[in-house]
Each structure stands twice: as C-alpha cells, then as structure tokens.
Amino acid sequence: MRIGIYLPTIIPGVGARDARRWARRAEELGFATVAVTDRGADEPFEPLASAYTALAVTRRIGVFGDVTFSPTWTAELSALHTASLDRAGGGRYTAGVTFADPLAIVDGLDATDSYWMADAQLAELHRADRSTGVVPAAGPPPLVIGGRGGIVAELVARHADGWLMRAGSPEAFATELTPVRDAWATAGRVGRPVATAAFGFALGDLAASAAEVLHDRLRATQGAEVAAAVVAGSAADEAAVRERVAAFAAAGADQVLAVPSTPDITELDRLAAVLPRLVHA
C-alpha cells in the first residue's frame, strides 16, 4: 500500500512557498504521492497551479490533482491541463474529479439530472484527452473520481481508473468501497478500481489545537456532516496513525493520503517516522 500526503493548501496563510517546501520534503522522505485540492478552502487557491508547482520541484513523487466538480467545469480545458501536467511530470500526474455530495452533485438538480450531466462531462473529457495534441502514446493519465454514493460508483465504473473517499473512517471506507467494486464488476471492467482513502492527522505539540481549527473551517465550508466524518477518521497521535493506516489496508485501500491539520512541515517528518516501512517502500 502506498502512503501520500495532501499539501496544506486549505490552511489559512499557506502559499506557493509552503507548497514547494512540502512537496520537496515529501519526496525526500519517501512518500509516494503529494495531493492538491480546492476542497475545504474558503480562500482562492487554484489546485492545478499547486500541481504544476509540485511537479516543478520534484523528480520522482506522484502528484494527484483533487479538483471539485462544478457547473463551470469544462472538459476541454481540464483535458488540456491534465495532458500538460502529465507531460510536465513525465507521467507522474493523476487527474482527480471529486463530487461534494452524493445526492445533489450540482445545486438545483436532482440526482438523476446530476448523474447525466456528470456522465456527459466525463465522456467529453475522454474525447478531449485525445485531441489536445500533448497526450502521450500510452494514452491519457489516470483518472480518479472521488465522492460517495451510487452515482459516484457508476461514474467510476464508466469513466475512471480509481476511486477516492474523502477523509473519513476506515469503517466508512469499507462500506463505500463495496458499491464501487460492485458497479465496476457489473460494467464488465477488468481487475478492480484503485481505491484511495484519506484521513486527517495531527502529531505535533500544537497539532491538536490546529486540528480543531481546521475542523471548524470544514464545518463552515463543507457542512457539519463532512466535518464530523473528518473528525471521526482523524488520528491525533502516533498510535492512532498506525491504527488508521492498518485499518484502511484491511478495508482494501491501495493508497492512503494523510491530510495535515497544520502547515508545520515537521509534521511530515513525524509521519514518516511513524510509518517508516510504508513510506520508504
């Protein structure tokens, strides 16, 4: 199982310099992936710009772009960015599209309309991927779809290479992975979707208080249900981190992404020390 880290770009005051430092240090410590996202942020921080930054300052580590789907999402532009990021990173980039809500993906649309809108956009993304002029011969970069519920499971089966569960508990991960795998098998896909879990963590002396602040931000930006799920899955000490990672592995995770609660870069070293075999594998 691979271990990765989200860059702390959803934390107030974090800028491009911090993103560069975290990406470089994560690669030095042996993490498999750095992830960038716009989820949970109430200040503008373009995730694809962060992805370009991470690729520019690293040579080996994978970079995952976790971008929230919205009505303004354009398949052609996304395909161009994805192909360009893949070329810039020499094949190290994985594209991600996350749906914030399983029942009403887009405000004002019911579940059925939301599904067909997303389905059409993702189908267009596949077509656009092949018309950008910068796609390598091996094909477009991997696509991961994040979210929960039957709608997301069907979209993963139809269009993606893998699935991401937003930060939560191993129990929730196991429950939500089942319909994803079922939809994959029903669609006649070979093998199984790559499954990625995420959990919040806090290890330093001030990390616990920073985690409370971050959870308050998530409650304000994504709602009480999401914040509660993040809290339920978070680890506040070394033993809890080991327990979470082992439980995610037992639940079927191929990769686990740790979500920091503080921009203190020494958290990376602490996490690597807690999981030395996995981080340096």
Q: Which two tokens stand for residue 93?
A: 């980039």
Nearest to 27 by CA among 265, 274, 193: 265
pLDDT < 50 regions, the chain? 103-104, 135, 137
Element containing residue 97 per DSSP (H, E): strand 93-98
Split into its structural domains, the chain has a count of: 1
Domain of 31 in residue numbering reads as: 2-279
For residue 248, what pLDDT is reported? 95
Amino acid code (one letter) for 154: E
**pTM of the shown model:** 0.86
According to the model, what pLDDT value does residue 131 have? Answer: 52
For the segment 29-68, what is each residue's pLDDT rounded down to a tens digit? Answer: 999 999 998 765 555 567 788 899 999 999 999 999 988 7
Q: Is 82 left (phi over 0), alpha (psi -120 to 50) or beta?
A: alpha
**Phi, psi angle pair for 131, to nearest 5°:** -120, 10
Amino acid at 45: F
Count CB atoms within 10 A of the CB of residue 28. 14
- Paired strand residues for 215: none
Tell me the pLDDT of the chain averaged across its residues: 81
Mapped onto helix, strand or coil, the DSSP state of residue 33 is strand
Q: How far apart are CA 11 and CA 6, in angstroms?
A: 11
Helices within the chain (DSSP H only): 16-29, 47-56, 75-88, 111-129, 150-159, 170-186, 207-222, 224-233, 238-250, 266-274, 276-279
User: Is there a contact between 21 and 274 (Cβ–Cβ < 8 Å)?
Assistant: no
pLDDT score of 40: 57
Here the CATH number for the domain that contains residue 35 is 3.20.20.30
Q: Determine the pLDDT at residue 14.
A: 79
Neighbours of 229 (CB within 10 A): 21
| DSSP labels, 230-242 | HHHH-B-SHHHHH
